[in-house]
């Protein structure tokens, strides 16, 4: 919404306020300001909250933005506050209103009892993981190995890199087991960027026959929307006379994928796809060799394609037809949909598609079946089970802990040194420290052999 509005010269700040007032649509960034406004204007609201919640724990207090902090300050008049803060873990200071002075503000306004837990370590007490993390943070390498920390280098070539990622899983698990003197339950592979998460997940997925089971913890929206596009490809086609309506539906689905991804390039792609959908729905045939015409050719191919009734095989067929349509947007969507297996959604989806085939001999309303299966999976699986192998960004790992952690450093997809700040790069060091300290028993630094990060310079691992 913002991209379309600003593309036409509008002021988004004014528009999002209008949407809030007139339609009740609340942009995420308005939640804290509006909560602050309500609490500041209404003593009755403050009293109600205080009577409901005599104790409020503010976790990650160092990362509270200004409006969030003001809500805490207002409620503190009638409620006991416990603020948990660590400036060495302030990794959201890129957000507007998040200040390195926040702990100072808390101390001045609340005058709390201060309890210093900096010397406490209940996560990895039998290792030197925290010592290593602190040395990385302060740029004070001791020039000797750390108990519970190791390093593995890989060649940048994709084949070697992916093989190293897979090998690192086994190595980290084995070393964590040795340190724990028994079995372990969890391992995290951490990247600085979402692009790195994709690289890791694809390496662990392989060609599908040698999959290392794992769960990806990133925003699932674009993956699930891409999967809806594949489900659309499975559905029976409209009559030839209505093929442009079929095409319009497909283009609209593709547009939603790129909207969900965000960013100017993706949003511009979404606009073009949506515009083509409007033209197709109006009866205008797409121009030759354009993106829309490539999808139309794929739709026509599907009209004569015979599915087998085996959902796994048919899903792969539909995805490959989309991938081979000859246009970058559809190839990207097909690659996105590959990650559905990494979310471990396959079993319920397969069962739902099987039921469609058995009852009607086709995958009519495959999108509805997909949506229902995913909703059921989300309700039943729970989002807090951290057993097994998890792949995520370091930002996503904040507040979590694992038996072992692998920190992936790749200059192209997951650089540990990711900002233009001057040496010694304190923001990058803080983020790496957060990643390292997720581990209970062992952390493995997985680094590019020929472009090693300067953040680990001098460390003997």
Neighbours of 105 (CB within 10 A): 17
> What is the H or E stretch that residue 119 is in?
none
d(CA 253, CA 104) in angstroms, rounded, equals 48
> What beta strand segments (E) does 155-266 contain?
186-191, 215-217
Burial of 118: CB neighbours in 10 Å, binned 0-12, 13-18, 19+? exposed
What pLDDT score was predicted for residue 287?
Answer: 92
Dump pLDDT digits (tens) for 157-191: 999 999 999 999 999 999 999 999 999 999 999 99
Number of H helices, E strands in the chain: 19, 8
Q: Where are the domains of the chain?
A: 2-110, 129-213+387-456, 221-340
The proportion of the chain whose per-residue pLDDT surpasses 90, expressed as a percent, equals 71
> What beta strand segments (E) does 237-387 contain?
none
**Count of residues making up the chain:** 461
Dump pLDDT digits (tens) for 304-357: 999 999 998 999 999 999 999 999 999 999 988 876 765 555 677 888 899 999
Query: Quick check: 315 and 279 in contact, CB under 8 A?
Result: no
The CATH topology of domain 2-110 is Rossmann fold (3.40.50)
- For the segment 191-195, the average pLDDT, to the nearest whole number, is 89
Work out the mean pLDDT of the chain and round it to a whole number.
90
Beta bridge partners of 216: 391
What pLDDT score was predicted for residue 384?
Answer: 60
d(CA 338, CA 322) in angstroms, rounded, equals 12
Query: SS3 for 233?
Result: helix
DSSP state of 410: B
Same fold, 2-110 and 129-213+387-456: yes
In the block, tokens 């952390």 appear at 443
Write down the CATH number for the domain with range 129-213+387-456: 3.40.50.300
Max Cα-Cα span within the chain: 75
């Amino acid at each position: 919404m913002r991209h379309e509005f600003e593309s036409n010269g509008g002021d988004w700040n004014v528009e999002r306020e209008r949407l809030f007032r007139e339609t009740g649509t609340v942009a995420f960034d308005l939640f804290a300001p509006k909560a602050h406004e309500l609490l500041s204007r209404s003593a009755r609201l403050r009293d109600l909250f205080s009577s409901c919640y005599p104790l409020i724990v503010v976790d990650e207090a160092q990362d509270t933005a200004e409006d969030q902090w003001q809500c805490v300050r207002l409620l503190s008049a009638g409620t006991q506050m416990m603020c948990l803060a660590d400036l060495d873990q302030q990794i959201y200071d890129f957000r507007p209103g998040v200040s390195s002075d926040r702990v100072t503000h808390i101390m001045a306004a609340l005058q709390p009892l201060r309890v210093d837990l900096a010397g406490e370590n209940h996560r990895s007490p039998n290792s030197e993981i925290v010592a290593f993390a602190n040395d990385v943070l302060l740029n004070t390498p001791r020039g000797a190995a750390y108990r519970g920390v190791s390093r593995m280098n890989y060649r940048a070539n994709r084949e070697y890199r992916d093989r190293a990622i897979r090998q690192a899983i086994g190595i980290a698990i084995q070393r964590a087991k040795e340190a724990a003197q028994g079995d372990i339950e969890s391992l995290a592979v951490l990247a600085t960027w979402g692009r790195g998460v994709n690289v890791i997940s694809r390496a662990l997925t392989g060609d599908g026959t040698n999959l290392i089971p794992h769960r990806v913890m990133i925003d699932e929206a674009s993956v699930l929307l891409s999967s809806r596009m594949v489900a659309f490809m499975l559905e029976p086609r409209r009559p030839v006379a209505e093929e442009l309506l079929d095409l319009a539906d497909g283009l609209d689905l593709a547009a939603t994928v790129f909207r969900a991804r965000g960013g100017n390039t993706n949003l511009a792609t979404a606009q073009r796809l949506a515009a083509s959908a409007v033209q197709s729905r109006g009866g205008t045939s797409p121009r030759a060799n354009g993106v829309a015409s490539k999808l139309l050719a794929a739709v026509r191919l599907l009209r004569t394609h015979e599915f087998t009734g085996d959902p796994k095989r048919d899903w792969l067929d539909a995805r490959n037809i989309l991938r081979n349509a000859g246009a970058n947007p559809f190839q990207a969507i097909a690659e996105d949909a590959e990650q559905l297996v990494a979310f471990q959604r396959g079993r319920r989806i397969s069962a739902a598609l099987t039921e469609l085939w058995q009852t009607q001999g086709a995958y009519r309303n495959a999108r509805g079946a997909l949506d229902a299966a995913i909703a059921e999976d989300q309700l039943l699986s729970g989002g807090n089970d951290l057993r097994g192998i998890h792949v995520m960004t370091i930002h996503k790992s904040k507040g979590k802990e694992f038996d072992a952690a692998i920190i992936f450093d790749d200059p192209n997809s997951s650089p540990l040194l990711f900002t233009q700040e001057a040496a010694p790069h304190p923001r990058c060091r803080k983020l790496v420290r957060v990643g390292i300290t997720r581990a209970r028993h062992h952390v493995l630094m997985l680094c590019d052999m020929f472009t090693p990060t300067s953040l680990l310079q001098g460390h003997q691992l």
